[in-house]
Chains A and B, each alone.
Chain A
Amino acid sequence: EIVLTQSPGTLSLSPGERATLSCRASQIFRSSYLAWYQEKPGQAPRLLIYATSSRATGIPDRFSGSGSGTDFTLTISRLEPEDFAMYYCQQYGDSPPWTFGPGTKVEI
């Protein structure tokens, strides 16, 4: 099973600032099959990025994904008030099980 580690655990920033979230995998998996989700309390997760860098439908372009191998990054170029939430990375590259990281909380 591929284990994902996310850092930092909590990111304290202000609106307008840039957020950089890291996701590291315990081993290389099938190319680029890495997704990022945003979760807010009481809501289902929302897909932001899939295939490492493709934005899902309706996702603002301030969200971007990058990476390869075992290291991946979600960047939020300028934080809006609605961006303060929990963020999870997830790999779906190899045979199941697909796994999620423990999450990074972006807080004000």
Chain B
Amino acid sequence: QLQLQESGSRLVKPSQTLSLTCAVSGGSISSGGYSWSWIRQPPGKGLEWTGYISDSGSTYYNPSLKSRVTISVDRSKNQFSLKLSSVTAADTAVYYCARGIDAHNIGAFDIWGQGTMVTVSS
């Protein structure tokens, strides 16, 4: 079955760029017309959708982050990535990658990575 696994920097200094990758295994990132999202959860708080990349490569970002966030896909490596620039302590969170369940419900996330805690601190 399809699985997602986040990896990347766990500690990022303020003003630097957070970079995470989500490796897709058990299936192809290019099949099925799925979309691929990043969601984050600050410690003790709720969930915040960050952005997604569609099967066609189109991207949509949360306006609260739009100027700082980039999501891209590397189909040859079967993975997609998140970059968040100019980070502050407010960006400290568990970051999840997730898949939209189908082409009509791209914003309902049926498969999630285990999550990776990223701390912004000097």
Contact = CB atoms under 8 A, between A and B. Distances in A.
Interface of A: 1, 33, 35, 37, 44-47, 50-51, 56-57, 88, 90-93, 95-103
Tell me the interface secondary structure of chain A in the complex.
loop
Contact of B115 (A44, A56, A99): A44
B35 to A, nearest CB: 10
B110 A47 contact: yes
Nearest to A100: B47
Given A37-B109, A96-B63, A98-B49, 16 more contacts: A37-B47, A45-B109, A47-B108, A50-B101, A50-B110, A88-B47, A91-B107, A92-B105, A92-B106, A95-B60, A97-B64, A99-B49, A100-B46, A100-B47, A101-B46, A103-B46
Interface size, B (range): 20 to 34
Nearest to A51: B105
B107 A90 contact: yes
Given A47-B110, A56-B110, A96 B46 contact: no
Contact of B109 (A1, A47, A102): A47
8 contacts: A33-B108, A45-B47, A51-B105, A88-B47, A92-B105, A92-B108, A96-B49, A101-B46
B26 to A, nearest CB: 15
A92 B46 contact: no
Contacts of B101: 47, 50, 56
B96 A100 contact: no
Interface in B36-80: 46-49, 51-52, 60-64
B2 to A, nearest CB: 12
B112 interface: yes
Q: Kindly name the residue among B61, B106, B110, B114 whose own CB sees the greatest number of chain A CB atoms within 10 A.
A: B110
